[in-house]
Amino acid sequence: MITAWKGRHRSVSGHQGAYDMREIVNAILYQGRTGCQWAYLPQKSATYYYFATWRDDGTDQVIHELLRRQVRERARRSEDPALVVLDTQSVHVAAGAPADTSGHDPAKRVPGRTLGIDVEIVARDPQIKRFVPQPKRWRVEQTYGTLILHRRLVRDYEHHPSSSVSRVYWAMTHVMTRRLTGANTPPPGARHRRSQHEHPVVARSPGTAGASGPGPCRRPP
């Protein structure tokens, strides 16, 4: 998918670029998982360029859709779901979020993004005092728990809602690739060999020559 995209977007000079697209994807997934800020990436990093480009032309959604179909096919389900369950989650916005794209949740008393979507609320049985997961609706809460493992989604740090949406697509892309490959997330504190295939490396531009180590979260000078 990424290789085909790269072939369709050749530069004017015909140069294919100095960066491995696999490493670019690894860097985007790594940043989403760890919550590393753009300012702590190597200066003039190519990672943001491809993140913004794929966000604007919808490549992140195409990748997500292809993986979604594969996951459903492996689970022996139809390609398109027959039921959609919606829920809302109040996510705090960062201090730099524009006021025209954020609002205030009066119930939870937190600032967040405004969606403007009308939904039909699924009410709980008032006779039951204890907590009881609602059928099907609990799947949404389970998805929230999975997404919140990606620290970039703990708070809405993006200035543009389109970047926030792209972050969710990449997070689910990360989840689905692990489902398809059977890979597990390394436990906290585990030490792994830093090789080309085991540790994501943030692509550096020629302006950052001389930088050493994995350093995707190293603060720039």
Overall pTM > 0.75: no
Q: Give the SS3 label for residue 136.
A: coil
As given in the structure block, the two tokens for residue 204 are 């550096």
Helix (H, G, I), strand (E, B) or coil at 189: coil
C-alpha distances (whole Å) from 71 to each of 141, 156, 175, 178 are: 20, 28, 10, 10
Q: Does residue 65 surpass a pLDDT of 50?
A: yes
Q: Which residue has the tokens 């997404």?
A: 147
For the chain, give the percent of residues with pLDDT over 90: 21
pLDDT in tens, 71-81: 999 999 888 87
